Structure 1
């Protein structure tokens, strides 16, 4: 059955009838319905679901921020490989060409139960020009924002003039520095690394980031110089800043928007698609609140169709989306909505994130393009018609202040939990006015409903038979109309249970 085959009766009084039912009466009805389930064959997981209803999220108390360790060095000395070795997973993009890492990128790391923030950076080169010079600036900023620094040098080439320039820069910063001599795989490498004493940073800690040799000793020394609590990061609320994944296809303006919100050139921006490859975390104060933004690499194509650095960037963009609470999807209004745009929006919704659609470059839109854009939205984004829309200009900041109310509304819907009594009162009134059509001589009934979780809202309906997809979509639509749920996907699943046979 398609939704068009289900002819619902207009029921404008549903909200009024629900309003007339007191909370006490609603709870009594739900208790009676739940008791009625005793005559049905329930599984252990059914009883666990019914017993577990009502849990609350615990918000951790504010604590000092973890200390910050920056990993810097000239291009292609193995910084990202070392970062991956410390993390114990392939997180930082690694490719055997210089310049793969472009922004400074933060990860949460742990060694011997001590947690710290690990910052990977692009290659530092004092003589760089263009984008490379901006990469170097990001590396210097990373040093400013770190409690300690690991300088990675290629032991096989010995100290270079660029290494000496980095050391000169570090001395001005007056931060604790550990010298890591990378690519040391054997005793011969140890002898070559002895040359690095000449940099004047003390003992070179010999490591092989690729094979893991010496990394444990390096980390032990790192813990000796890192403070208990960061002196540069502000106190944070573990349950506090809402996490926002900034997603969209390449070159749609994500980094420009992030820089506009921050008020500085935090993220590299270039008129070439794919400038951003790493997710970049940033705490931003907006609307009297702190938000944690993640500027993700543009999603070029499906992960299995990508290669090299783009492949790992796509995987980490997906990870950033799954770690976020709300997805801010940036779309460009001057170009027709593409298959990529629709896929990204769909991916965000299927990941269970709250969704806000931000249409960029709205100030450049003419009347003709606006007409066609509205038709495209109606046709291609109908499945997320519940997502708030904001029309902005990332470059000028026009209407950027409207993003906060939209994100707050989406998160409110994402957080919403309906009391069991109120939900079953809603279902009872809904079904009374619009019963499920008879199929095969039987009419499936909704025996009981519960909200299994929020973030995103998921509902489980115990039924006596299969509910057609069109009828479930009808329930979801009326849930939105009655309880809000703006900006969040909703899932309604069934547990079909048969009546227990008398013995």
Structure 2
């Protein structure tokens, strides 16, 4: 078996954000673009339920489609909700597909989004959906008044006009850059995340050496992600300060809901996340949930226990037990104790970041990996189940950032055994500060003729 039998990792593809009000046929149009109906109900791991991405191909070019979900025109605080959701979509996209219901025409909500799109400077393709006949096509012409250029009349349901629209999308999207397997060069991107009022903005101010972010004891002061270029340890870094995650996204409302989405976006944009925890308080469900989100998104992780100057001996005793109990899934993450307001031990952050990023980008050669797997299987074979014993036949590292391994097996491996393999991989090769993704491919037995 050769590496050519694996799905080869590919380089970055341009991103198309699909935005629009509810009931304009957005999801149907996304299905039309990606060419498969089941995609709408199949979440891609590592993205939020409210913003799901899919791979698409047209005329031999690959791109990523981000379905952002619609807005409720009758919701309170309409302008805030529209602006927040649209800004998230536009910020991560190379181009935008703006979907409008041609049978309804231009609404106040559509005009509010147009202002955001113009300010972004991103290329916009305007889709006039639900154009099923000549009469509706004439009505679609009124969408010229939005000032976004030519409206492309389409019927997401029947496919009418979708080819012309897709051609326009390809014209709007940049060509995918040539990719040689190397990670992009530039300042490392660090997301500072955590629940409200744990000291995220204080840490950023201390790192930047000036008051760049509003700091207030009232939680939730920061709403928008703030990107700051910071010189640290003789190098340049991009730090993303985010609003705290207060509740589950489904339970949050108003600006908190969109703050949560912005935080998720910040994690996705980053290479490494610094999770700030208030060491003087007990670890909360929110803390655990944010750590889990970083892990599932596949980002490198550093955990910084802030407000250490408020921690006494008793608190340290209980904190160690909380860490052992609640953070057992991320024992591999570097941990530092800091006091952001005074700057105590903040300089230790650079070493922790370097450790996490090094682990995130670690590659193990196929020869090394299979020598390791051979010893592992010989010493600790998979348990026999139903008279059969699954074996690891071969393994390869499909990609880095995060390290992703594919194991070819003679049968399905149990989750407990996969966790054992991951633990031994860490003991052998390090991988400090990074999640490891293990996938298995069961080799089908050839039937005898």
Q: What is the deviation of 1:95?
A: 4.2
Secondary structure, counterpart of 2:323 in structure 1 = helix
How far does the alpha carbon of each residue in 1:427-453 deviate from its partner, in whole angstroms, 9 at most, with x for none? 001111111121111111111101111
Q: Relative to structure 1, is the Cα distance of residues 95 and 282 closer, same or farther in structure 2, using a 3 angstrom cutoff? A: farther
Residue in structure 1 matched with residue 217 of structure 2 by the alignment: 271
1:402 aligns with 2:348: yes
Counterpart-to-counterpart distance in 1, 2:418 and 2:94: 45
**Runs of at least 5 residues in structure 1 that lack an aligned partner in the other structure:** 1-33, 36-45, 59-87, 113-177, 179-210, 218-236
Distance in 2 between residues matched to 1:449 and 1:360, nearest whole Å: 40
Query: In structure 2, how many angstroms separate the alpha carbons of the residues matched to 1:403 and 1:377?
Result: 19
Partner of 1:376: 322
Cα distance, 1:48 vs structure 2:
4.0
| 1:275-329 Cα shifts (integer Å, max 9, x gaps) | 0111111111111111111101100111111111111111111011111111100
TM-score (norm 2): 0.63
- The secondary structure found in structure 1 opposite 2:446 is coil
Q: Counterpart of 1:451 in 2: which secondary structure?
A: strand
TM-score normalised to structure 1 length: 0.56
For residue 400 of structure 1, give the secondary structure of its aligned residue in structure 2: coil
Taking the aligned partners of 1:415 and 1:392, their CA distance within structure 2 comes to 26
**Change over 3 Å in CA distance of 1:97–1:452 after alignment to 2:** closer
Change (3 A) 1:439 1:284: same
Aligned to 2:446: 500
1:478 deviates by: 0.6
CA offset at residue 499 of structure 1? Answer: 2.4
Counterpart-to-counterpart distance in 1, 2:391 and 2:444? 11
Aligned-pair CA distance for 1:365? 1.0
Q: How many Å separate the matches in 1 of 2:336 and 2:365?
A: 31
Pairwise CA RMSD: 3.4
Whole-Å Cα distance in 1 between the matches of residues 91 and 394 of structure 2?
44
Q: Distance in 2 between matches of 1:212 and 1:289?
A: 48
The 3-state SS of whatever aligns with 1:284 is strand
2:382 paired residue among 436, 439, 448 = 436
- What is the CA–CA distance in structure 2 between the aligned matches of 1:307 and 1:461, rounded to whole Å? 43
Bigger Cα Rg? 1
| Counterpart for residue 387 of structure 1 | 333
Structure 2 CA distance for partners of 1:335 and 1:492, relative to 1, 3 Å: same
Cα deviation, residue 239, structure 1:
2.2
Aligned to 2:293: 347
Q: Secondary structure at the match of 2:384?
A: coil
Residues 111, 303 of structure 1: CA spacing in aligned structure 2 closer, same or farther, 3 A cutoff? closer
CA separation of 1:257 and 1:428: change in aligned 2, threshold 3 A: same
Task: Tell me how far apart the structure 1 counterparts of residues 390 and 92 of structure 2 sit (CA, whole Å).
Answer: 50
Residues 238 and 420 of structure 1: is their aligned pair in 2 closer, same or farther, counting only changes over 3 Å?
A: closer
How far did residue 214 of structure 1 move? Answer: 7.0
Q: How many residues align?
A: 310
- Relative contact order (alpha carbons < 8 A, sep ≥ 6): 1 or 2 greater? 1
Aligned CA distance change for structure 1 residues 436 and 263 (closer, same or farther; 3 Å): same
Cα deviation for residue 238 of structure 1 reads 5.8
In 2 relative to 1, CA 308–242 (structure 1 residues): closer, same or farther, beyond 3 Å? same
Structure 1 segments, 4+ long, off by >4 Å, are: 55-58, 88-91, 94-98, 105-112, 211-217
Structure 1 residues 259 and 448, CA gap change in structure 2 (3 angstroms): same
1:259 is the counterpart of 2:195: no
